[in-house]
Amino acid sequence: MKEPSVLDYVKSKIFFWRGEIVEIPWPSDEPQGADLLELVQELHLEDDGSFSAPDDSDLGTSSAFDLIRWIGWWAVVPLGLALFAQRALEPPDRSLNAGIVLYMLTLGVLVWAQLRGHLTLPKITSIDYQSDQFAVRPVPMWGGIVFGLLAFLAFGGNRFTQVNLTLWIVSLALFFYAFWKPNAEALPWREKLRIANDNFKSYGVTFSPWTLLVIGVFALSAFFRFYQLDSVPPEMFSDHAEKLLDVADVLDGEYSIFFTRNTGREAFQMYLTAAVARLFGTGLSFLSLKLGTALAGLFTLPFIYLLGKEIANRRVGLLAMAFAGIAYWPNVISRVALRFTLYPFFAAPMLYFLVRGLRRGTRNDFLLAGFFLGLGLHGYSPFRFVPFVVLVAVGLHLVHRRSKEVSRQTLWGLIVLIFSSLLVFLPLLRFALANLDSFSYRMMTRMTQVEQAFSNPAWQIFFKNLWDVMTMYFWDDGEIWVHSVTHRPALGVVSAALFFIGGVMLTVRYLRRREWLDAFLLISIPLLMMTSVLSLAFPGENPSLNRTGGALIPVFLIVGMALDGLLTSLKGSLRSPVWGKRLTWGVGVLLLAWSCAQNYDLVFRQYTDYFALGSWNTSEMGAVIRQFADTAGTEDSAWVVPYPHWVDTRLVGIRAGVPLHDYALWPDQLSQTLDDPRVKLFIFKPEDTIALETLRDLYPTGSLQLYDSAIEHKDFYIYFVPPVER
């Protein structure tokens, strides 16, 4: 057989879909595989717990090199370099040049170590591909289609009703039943129920150490999501008022499919908040909004764990879930109480079932991926780009898996996914087709020149936005204070360093192995951030942590893969299994603790302080009115005088416990209160001299007091008017 040439090697790398990949073997004098293992095993553990290397006579001329390698050089050095590099990019004293130089050194070490086989990522798990002829139950399938068409017609008028909901649910049930493939090896449900009942009667509940570890990580994540939830972030802004008005409509029986208030919003958060308000008794409040989105953020994490486990192993899943659970980025977009966290909340299960379906060929996974794809379109507008992510994943899989059977089965799976997602999306699809301008208005104002002209040619803005969004993990996460600590990296020091290491190692492994999943993990990141990149009319809104939220899933999966690979390499470099295990656990816990400390500071100190400075203190005004109503006056004998670019007076009502009451009373309307004999309270901005002069003219017996706010430059005046004796 003819030995491949260098040209053959290069062509195989470029045109990898044409045939077998040509690999150039390493020189025989390089220690590989078993040779390297033999060298590692020569490391001796002394009685005092220290390690000693073989004599120079045993090591030959490369003793120093091998000794360094034995103590985990290939794992420790790139990790240390990356940590120092990212630390150099941390504000306030940041050095871009130092960070770039250190990251370039990290890049060189990683590529060299990986090409030499000294450092590897966890392997992608191998699974058995299930052959499926895609037989369906025709009667339920056609029944689902017919009921779906009837539901589509009934969804006119932008309202959920008992009729169209019933038709829609029946359509979904019939369609899923038509395509669902029972697991022949699964126990019947009666047998499962009997076993569960026997276990319950025995009162024997046991958990493996691994299960306890997973529960512990989930509990840690829950702490970061719910700790000080009532006060972090501290204030609402106008978007929250709009959301609570929509929730009030739901509680009053107006079940909209698309909420047109405030340029239009998808419905899921409104119904989620209404359910939280009823279930927890929190009413129309900031806390109701926060609880709903915090719960969504928390329950994104199990699917990150499952996805990591599906791709690599359970350690990767656990590490990815842990770092995503404590990270400041997912935490703040969950706490800000808007729809932002719904993006990863639906993207995570969709990606999990999509990857399972593509790798295993299981139609049930395609069905479930379609279900979450359709449901996600009811959540947050940036999710509208996710269907393109699905097509890219399927395309990569088809290009890399050159098998007619696999291609046929994948295409059938894609068809099932598309139809199931369309059925779930059906109510909003009906509204979008009838009200395209309203449905697409917000999106078009960012992508086109409908509202504002482009500042530069569109292609220049696009690539500048793309660069900014790809570097936000290490340098600058944007200028939007609502959901970020502005102009700092989107990731903490540890996560950013691991993300860089994992990204480099994934790229090298893909170039060598051509595994479609490696390519998809890398490509999915810019795709899941594309709605931020496409903010061409308002490039100042890019990067943004809200519109890029879906990308946190592959980002933290790569973080988990990188750390698992580094720790495995470090453990394998030590002869003693006990000390190797202790060292790797120690390094892992140390990195997690460092990340916890930094992210705690970012969320509960820096983000809170930045948010308080950027928002208006409506909570203090609401507290003043509440105290006034509970003592001297009433809820409707207090007013807030509006002032340009000041408080949203609707929020004052919400904070005062009167959520549907707008406390605004303009200066030219103050005289309307003269006929009211009750005790009165007026709140106005210190700069509002017109309000002050008008109130003194109208109520010369009134008293003026400056409220000293806890936030600097947020003081306000209180004008108290005693009752009129009659």
Q: Give 2-43 as a DSSP string.
A: PPP-HHHHHHHHHTGGGSPPP-PPPPTTS--THHHHHHHHT-
Say how many Å lie between the first and final Cα of the chain, rounded.
113
Mean per-residue pLDDT, 46-74: 44
Strands 44-45 and 51-52: antiparallel
7 vs 486, higher pLDDT = 486
Band of pLDDT at residue 35, cut at 50, 70 and 90: very low
- Of 242, 241, 271, 243, the C-alpha closest to 256 is 271
**DSSP SS3 for 289:** helix
CA distance 384 to 238: 24
Question: Has residue 248 got a pLDDT over 90?
Answer: yes
Task: Return the pLDDT at 19.
Answer: 45
Q: Bridge partners of 684?
A: 717
b (16+ CB within 10 A) / e for 318-348: bbbbbbbbbbbbbbbbbbbbbbbbbbbbbbb
Q: Does pLDDT of 495 surpass 90?
A: yes
- Local structure of residue 572 (DSSP, 8 states): H
Interatomic CA distance for residues 567 and 121, integer angstroms:
10
Q: Specify the pLDDT at position 7.
A: 54
pLDDT bucket at 75, cuts 50 / 70 / 90: confident
Nearest to 705, CA basis, from 676, 722, 684, 675: 684
Q: pLDDT tens digit string along 181-228?
A: 987 666 666 766 666 666 555 555 567 899 999 999 999 999 999 999
55-69, 497-511, 632-646, 689-703: lowest mean pLDDT where? 55-69
What's the rounded mean pLDDT across residues 530-543?
96
Q: What residues contact 554, with CB distance under 8 A and at least 6 apart? A: 351, 521, 522, 524, 525, 528
Query: Cβ distance 344 to 552 under 8 Å?
Result: yes
- Report the pLDDT value the prediction gives residue 432, as an integer from 0 to 100: 96
More confident residue, 342 or 182: 342
Residue range 1-13: average pLDDT?
Answer: 54
Q: 59 pLDDT band (50/70/90 cuts)? A: very low
pLDDT band at 31 (very low <50, low <70, confident <90, very high): very low
User: Is residue 101's pLDDT more than 90?
Assistant: yes
* Three-state secondary-structure class, residue 682: strand
Phi, psi at residue 155, to the nearest 5°?
Answer: -80, 5
Buried b (16+ CB within 10 A) or exposed e, 596-635: bebbbebbbeebbebbbeebbbbbbbbbbbbebbeeebeb
Q: How much is the average pLDDT of 402-425?
A: 94
Q: What is the pLDDT of residues 372-384, one digit of tens each?
A: 999 999 999 999 9
Mean local confidence (pLDDT), 76-82: 93
Residue whose C-alpha is closest to residue 616's, from 642, 662, 644, 647: 647
Helix (H/G/I), strand (E/B), else coil: 707:
strand
Decide: helix, strand or coil at residue 233: coil
Phi, psi of 640 (to 5 degrees): -120, 125
* C-alpha dist (Å) from residue 346 to 128, 340, 353, 386, 395: 27, 11, 11, 10, 22
132 close to 410: Cβ distance less than 8 angstroms: no
**Does 679 score more than 70 pLDDT?**
yes
| Bridge partners, residue 683, by sequence | 640, 718
Structure tokens belonging to residue 300: 């994104």
The amino acid present at 248, given as its one-letter code, is A
Q: How confident is the model at residue 116 (pLDDT cuts 50, 70, 90)?
A: confident
Say yes or no to pLDDT of 548 above 60.
yes
Which tens digits make up the pLDDT trace of 685-698?
Answer: 999 999 999 999 99
For the chain, the average pLDDT equals 89
- Look at phi and psi of residue 644 and say left if phi exceeds 0, alpha if psi is from -120 to 50, else beta: beta
pLDDT over 60 at 66, yes or no: no
Whether 64 shows a pLDDT value over 70: the answer reads: no
Q: What predicted TM-score, i.e. pTM, was given to this entire model?
A: 0.89
> Averaged over 398-424, what is the pLDDT?
93
Contact 317, 304 (CB under 8 A): yes
Check residue 573 and give its pLDDT: 73
Instruction: Express each pLDDT in 472-485 by its tens digit.
Output: 999 999 999 999 99
What local confidence, expressed as pLDDT, does residue 174 receive?
97
Confidence of residue 583 (pLDDT cuts 50, 70, 90): confident
Q: Give CA torsion, residues 511, 515, 519, 524, to 10 deg.
A: -170
**Long-range CB contacts for residues 436-445, cutoff 8 Å, separation at least 24:** 438/258, 438/260, 438/264, 439/258, 439/264, 441/263, 441/264, 442/263, 442/264, 442/381, 443/381, 443/384, 443/531, 445/263, 445/537, 445/538
275-321 pLDDT tens trace:
999 999 999 999 999 999 999 999 999 999 999 999 999 999 999 99
Number of C-beta neighbours around residue 6 at 10 A: 9
**Stretch 441-464: mean pLDDT, rounded?**
94
